[in-house]
Chain A
Amino acid sequence: MGALWHYFLSNRQQVQGWAITTIWLAAVPLAAGLALALPAGWAASRFRWSYPPLVSLAGALYTIPSLVLFLLLPGILGTGILDTLNVAVALTVYTFALLVRAVADGLSAVNADTLSAASAMGYTGRQLLIGVQLPLAVPVIGSGLRVAAVANLSLVSVASIIGTSQLGQLFITGSSLGILTPIVLGLICFVILALCFDLVIRLAMRVLAPWRRAVPG
């Protein structure tokens, strides 16, 4: 325990830099992926004919191993191989693929009776979407987001194989230097980050959908 703290203190700047990179590399794709998935998922739920192709496309995208995307993107985007943008774009693609289905299912899952009651009361289509369907879909989308958050953090660490600069580098350092401390520190950091992300999302879910307790697990 003491050794960990000592290591952290002596490499404070580097570790902090990596930590910040890791956090934004996991968080920004979550937001961007969600932003892209919302209209796509809405389209899939609204136009039922588009649901199967969209979900299949999402499934195919998700099937591509992360490392592959990290490698392809420099060629496509023209970025350097160490550029963190590759990771961010790749993770956005994954978050999008994961959430399209969650958004589509969450919006369609709203009770048909509730919808007709609301429209009978005079809600317009847009009001229905924003005022009724979205809030009620929060639990489903939220739990998809939690899965995506954990997956993203895990994938960020994979980028260490190519050398991208983030907390995963602690593992590489430990491996090349032959010491355990940075490795253990890295593992602990990732687990803590995963717990924090999970907590933040659950809080957000509770704020946006207070009538339901957050789905456990």
Chain B
Amino acid sequence: MIPGLLSRTTPDPGDNGLPGLHRVPIWFNDPLNWKGPDGLLAYTSEHIVYTIVVLAVAMVIAVPLGLLIGHTGRGSAAIGGSVNALRAVPPLGLLILLIAVISPHIHITQGFTYLIARGSVPYFIPAMAVLLVLAISPILTSTYAGVQAIDPAVRDAARGMGMRPVQVVTRVEFPNALPLIMSGMRSATLQVIATMTVAAYAPLVGGIGRLIVDGDQDLTSLRYGYPAMVAGGITVAVLALAAEGLLALLQRRVVSRGITGRYSTRREKYERHPPAASRGARAGSARRMRRSGQLSHT
């Protein structure tokens, strides 16, 4: 790597005044861009950890709530409606509003390892709050839709055989709603990974969005400008695709094969009892004329 190449700030020829896209692989190739507290690796790991935390909290809130709404059949209009309405609210606007309103009142100054920078907590909380709201919406909707989509006969049978309501929910409704719950979770994951970049608008908050937001300050810089922004963007896209792939695999493992239709042809593992005597006689019968008992009624 020629040091001079990286520190040059004059823009490449191009009509839009931005360094060309060929700068991006060069950016990726420079190890200095990866290491350190403001390197790609640090930002990526922050991005991943934040995503996991937000999703975990969202699942803990949205899945039980969705199961409750789906099981009782009540509240879908009120809660579901308001949750859906939140989708129309622009996340950036919500973030800025929350920062303006809440951050001044949060007085926590210490940080937490490398994940949460010192002094960033007042901004971290609104950012995570916005992402949480964004994640809860699809998970909640798909959970209660998943329960409602279950064949009513199955829920009736579960109740009729003597399961308590909680057992009906955990043993029957939840497993059968899993395909939809998982699809809601996948949708939520993608949204969170994507919108986490916007969350970096909040000062000091980490994640790959930091590269993008900071890059806007000096677009022509080859190290921190447009190439960094694009590199960050590509990393987020790769992260999103990887997450989607992982979750697809998880869905395949977790959802019962009886529902998805993926039946294996593994050998039957149940041992046969000694055949009943009646079976042999029935199988061997060569009776041609029908017993009148099998005549259908007139």
Contact = CB atoms under 8 A, between A and B. Distances in A.
Is there a direct interface between A and B, measured as CB atoms under 8 Å apart in the complex?
A: yes
Interface of A: 59-60, 62-69, 71-72, 74-76, 78-81, 83, 150-151, 153-154, 156-158, 160-163, 168, 170-172, 174-175, 178, 180, 183-184, 186-187, 190-191, 194-195, 217
Interface of A is mostly: helix
Interface in B69-124: 80-81, 84-85, 87-94, 96-97, 99-101
Interface of B is mostly: helix
B201 interface: yes
B236 A68 contact: yes
B27 to A, nearest CB: 12
Contacts of B190: 62-63
Contacts of B226: 71, 74-75, 81
A72 to B, nearest CB: 6
Given A66-B194, A163-B216, A180-B100, A171 B93 contact: yes
Contacts of A151: 87
Given A174-B96, A175-B99, A183-B100, A190 B229 contact: no
Interface in B188-216: 190, 193-195, 197-198, 201, 209, 212-213, 216
A171 B97 CA distance: 8
B219 A81 contact: yes
Contact of B89 (A59, A190, A217): A190
B90 A63 contact: no
A75 B230 contact: yes
A60 to B, nearest CB: 7
A139 to B, nearest CB: 17
Contacts of A71: 212, 226, 229-230, 233
Contact of B198 (A158, A175, A190, A194): A158
B127 to A, nearest CB: 13
B244 interface: yes
B87 A161 contact: no
Interface band, chain B? 35 or more
Given A65-B233, A79-B16, A174-B100, A168 B93 contact: yes
A69 B230 CA distance: 9
B151 interface: no
Interface of B: 14-18, 20-21, 24, 80-81, 84-85, 87-94, 96-97, 99-101, 190, 193-195, 197-198, 201, 209, 212-213, 216, 219, 226, 229-230, 233-234, 236-237, 240-241, 244
Contacts of B100: 174-175, 178, 180, 183
A93 B238 CA distance: 18
Nearest to B20: A75
Given A67-B212, A183-B93, A78 B15 contact: yes
A33 B219 CA distance: 30
A67 B88 contact: no
A117 B213 CA distance: 58
A158 B229 contact: no
A8 B201 CA distance: 25
A146 to B, nearest CB: 11
A64 B85 CA distance: 24
B249 to A, nearest CB: 15
